[in-house]
A and B are shown apart, each in its own frame.
Chain A
Amino acid sequence: MTGQMTDLDQTYRRLARVLNWAVNLSLGLVLVALAWSAAGGRAGALPDVPALGRVVPALGRGEAWAIAYLGILTVLVTPIAQSLVVWLSHRAAAPRRLGLVALALLAVQVLAIVAAAL
């Protein structure tokens, strides 16, 4: 570890990059939404729609609302991106068990979204 970077070191860096992007993107989106709303943009309340409709928001509820929703979704799907990065990085590289655990977590995360939407 002192000289050459191991696969695990690279995964640490990759994951930090993904998280950094996601945090910045999400924060940027929510700031735009807040500024838009302050400038008079529509930020309508959540209408009474089925649960699935709220997970995948329809257009027409206000621009600021939609951007804020996108910002929140960015935060919430980041864990899936993290699991994907680790799984793809350790499918073949050592430690393989980390790849398997990441795949298991990915499955739980996807199932959680499906269960929440139903």
Chain B
Amino acid sequence: MTLTFTIGVMATAALAGVFGSLLGLGGGIILVPLFTLALGLPVHTAVAVSLVAVVANAASASVVNLRSSTANLGLAFALAVVTAIGSVSGGFLATSLSGVWLTGLFGVTLVGVALIMVIKPEGIRRPAPTLSPGNGDPTPPAAAAGAGDTPPADSDQAWLDAGYYDLAVGERVAYRPREVRRGLFVSFVAGNLSGLLGIGGGIVQVPLMNLLLGVPMKAATATSSLIISLTAASGAFVYLARGYAEPMLTAATVTGIYIGARGGARLAHHLPGAVLKRIFSVVLFYMAVRMLAQAFNLPFPF
């Protein structure tokens, strides 16, 4: 790997990191098409390298989320078991697929993500739950979270109770996730997509936790990062063992995405997220069409 190529990889990864942070994505969904279309890397290599970078990025974000207790540890571990199984099976599936199929699948996924950004640029979210009294106890405000009735304190899911201090409103938010069993299947799908396409899977996990489990948006995002940091590595091992995650390439990518994500997080406070998402959805559509054209060997003028 030449120095110029290394710098090119780092710059590409940094770009993916910046946009990932700005758009609330892990970066993998941007990194894989950039690597395959702009740098001409084989899709399996791009997916493998992206998956390792996504784990590193999620782990780094989780440090902050754990310190502030925004991530729900119990929920993360409960969902991580099936997500990890999904990630490994996704990795095996991807490594058995041809590059054409994998590129095509990624193209279709990109179309889906771009559509979500156009339709709901502010994110699919449940209204913020009513705040608990602010005494610091994770009294489950299930009604506030949309559950209908508050489960008893000794309920089967009491160990999943969590709370965090929301700086934006200056109060403690406490909640109890509901219907966790129903969320397990969706988590498996998220893990499978992660291992298959080299993405974090947050695009599935965050809406799942917010809409189905009634977890507040901030906690859902933080918990999703923790789940990714726990599970995406399982899929990454499959690629590593088959020689797709070239170490020097991965090293440059991890460094680039780390720098980019930090820069993007700072920029995010100054830029209008919803407008950015609408603009970026056009870029995603473009990348999707190019990946589909590449998969089906169709001529593409641009």
Contacts and interface: CB of A to CB of B under 8 A. Distances in A.
- A and B associate in one complex: yes
A72 B252 CA distance: 11
Interface in A2-48: 2, 8-9, 11-13, 15-16, 19-20, 22-23, 26-27, 30-31, 33-34, 37-38, 43, 45-46
Contacts of B240: 54-55, 72, 76, 116
A72 B114 CA distance: 31
B251 A23 contact: no
Contacts of B252: 30, 34
A16 to B, nearest CB: 4
Contacts of A79: 55, 229-231, 233-234
Given A33-B248, A64-B248, A95-B74, A82 B67 contact: no
Interface in B13-56: 52, 55-56
A68 B248 contact: yes
Interface in A64-102: 64-65, 68-69, 71-72, 75-79, 82-83, 86, 94-95, 97-98, 101-102
A1 B136 contact: yes
A59 interface: no
Interface residues of A, number: 57
Nearest to A117: B241
A78 B229 contact: yes
B52 A76 contact: yes
B88 A115 contact: yes
A71 B254 contact: yes
A20 B63 contact: yes
A5 B55 CA distance: 29
Contacts of A75: 52, 55-56, 59, 233, 254
Contacts of A116: 88, 91, 237-238, 240-242
B130 interface: no
User: Main SS of the interface on chain B?
Assistant: helix
Given A43-B1, A105-B84, A109-B234, A55 B241 contact: yes
A112 B66 CA distance: 25
B1 A37 contact: yes
Nearest to A101: B77
B2 to A, nearest CB: 10
A94 B230 CA distance: 21
Given A34-B255, A37-B1, A95-B159, A22 B81 contact: no
Nearest to A14: B66
Task: Identify the interface centre among A11, A55, A64, A116: most chain B CB within 10 Å of its CB.
Answer: A116
Interface in B214-257: 229-231, 233-238, 240-243, 245-248, 250-252, 254-255
A29 to B, nearest CB: 8
A86 B84 contact: no
A116 B241 CA distance: 6
A111 to B, nearest CB: 8
B67 A98 contact: no
Given A33-B248, A69-B247, A76-B240, A105 B69 contact: no
7 contacts: A1-B138, A2-B135, A43-B247, A46-B247, A51-B241, A65-B248, A75-B254
Interface of B: 1, 3, 6, 52, 55-56, 59-60, 62-63, 66-67, 69, 73-74, 77-78, 80-81, 84-85, 87-88, 91-92, 135-138, 158-159, 163, 229-231, 233-238, 240-243, 245-248, 250-252, 254-255, 258
3 closest pairs, A vs B, by CB?
A: A95-B159, A30-B251, A68-B247
